[in-house]
Structure 1
């Protein structure tokens, strides 16, 4: 069963990569992925903290969520040690440099879903935009060749679960 899931994951990865490269979506994927870099989250949280009445709720939820998520992320990443697709396929050319050599779970996706869940919790009317953006971050990581689809699913799960755990603490 595990072999079948892994094979299906790799097949789906190949289809997504082929589609993205055929339609020249790599530059767009790079821009979307970059929008999920951590420093933007800090700018947003601090800006809302000072500029919006619900900013402290958002800031605290985001902070506690990342305090829970980061150790879990490092434990999972280093315990599972799944090789990134850009290193696993012979002759595969990824014009994108990943931050480390392991792929499961996707840290960018986990962080994006923490942000999306925090936005949804604090500003419910923005949930479609927040969730669409977070999903685009995950898909961009596949399009760049640095994650398999199951890495993205694991990142989504990690991000969503830690916010659910963090909310009662706020």
Structure 2
């Protein structure tokens, strides 16, 4: 996501710094406005609401009582991640895992680093785990790469479509 943001902003930033015209005029207002508009994109407009949604959706995703369909709704590309979700849920530990988000740090208006604690049958199994959340179609979701990393941690060495 950060790389995509850099690529998207590169032309605008290059235009802002191109002063080859040699005139004595101040920087034109349009590029300055672009720079000002681009800078706050390090977080969503309503940080508190986004953070609350991330926490809620992570808890929902990692709740063993949540249906596969509901998990797919809060998983990045959930409609295409069925095999990965099955691999995670198919592991007997997957059905006993819960997560509690302890920290959210926004990396862009549509991305966040998430620190969470993973518990297995109520006991801490993975403290201070790192993952990420992405805003997709208006919903903050557990990133596909976070789920893929957990599937790999489970010891499943076979390649899983989607990861």
Higher share of residues assigned helix: 1
Higher share of residues assigned strand: 2
Find the structure with the greater CA-based Rg. 2
Q: Which has the higher contact order (CA 8 A, sep 6+)?
A: 1
